[in-house]
Structure 1
């Protein structure tokens, strides 16, 4: 059975999609078949890290949700993004959401069948023979994110060292525990390099009584890359990549 990994944050702007892409690519690099589904349908963006612009997306998750295509037909093989840093068995697929204004407006106006989304996840796992399914969720808590949390084997919560993030994350941690998520990992992102990371890690672990899988520092290199690729693949020797690798190892355990 594939392991389902949901990457979530209570607020936007935490670097959730970037973290999802980096973790999924890192896991795939170890010889696994991995897929990412962008369920942030209202504000999709992870496709950019894999070299797509809006016009490149001819088929999307929206097509599946509206009954126009089976979900396997909206999955793009993006293994080339690994830049030959994987093994012969490494595979990574992406199911993007549409960036067309009309498609986003329809979702906001009509919603969609969340149960159908769950069926699609299962079909994708079977059709692509996946080892890992990563779900890039919509920030906050709604019907879609609750479904993603419920079916997760691993829930990775992204937060910044910010009081608003701390309060929102507390709500999400409480929900995850009530839904009995098997593994909960916290990732602190965009931490100022002037912070003492050991103290920050200890503070967050004590606050939520949950494991901090890693502290990702604010990175000028990441900012300069500007989502034009997957950082951990382009910069394999960077200290940030080493932290991403350590988090990925905890997901794979």
Structure 2
């Protein structure tokens, strides 16, 4: 683990996501996974199966962050154009990868079928890319530059993420503490803003919820990479909450 901050973005590709036919289950999973690794997920974009949209988004993201994870569009159908678009973004040829072909042949030998034109589409990899193995269904993803291309099917995407995780550079992990306010978000918002201003290197979030008594309540989450600063800000929030609750009780 390095002392630097490592950043990432996710590019979700597919008309089915934007139309609502498929509900994305990958963004939250990747976000949790990145946090656990010590990588800051900074941006998520969702684009249609449109070449110019994919290439434009990919070039913007790969220039801004350490890693870009793409999901979707690497299947056997005509609208699975992610590999084509990534090759175009990098200015390289799309090639049939010998190892990918061998993987698909082995898979088909086990489950039946033929390595037809549609399935061969899934063996095309941008020149210079390396395979991301898929222990679930065989057809691999790939990694080129700082772009890691994975399937959209959640179980397959998760398996691919497990494959690449040990190879990712990671930064200092973000630590967090959660504090139950026992007050409404509106009662503490101004005070939280003052604490945040006094501690710009920490992140403070407030999340309203209905508690076990059916009343409005708030969870306050403090985040920092520095354990000492995290403790200082948590103490400041707890002291503020004590004051606010006393004021509310006094009417």
Q: TM-score, normalised by structure 2?
A: 0.34
Larger Rg: 2
| Bigger RCO (CA 8 Å, 6+ sep) | 1
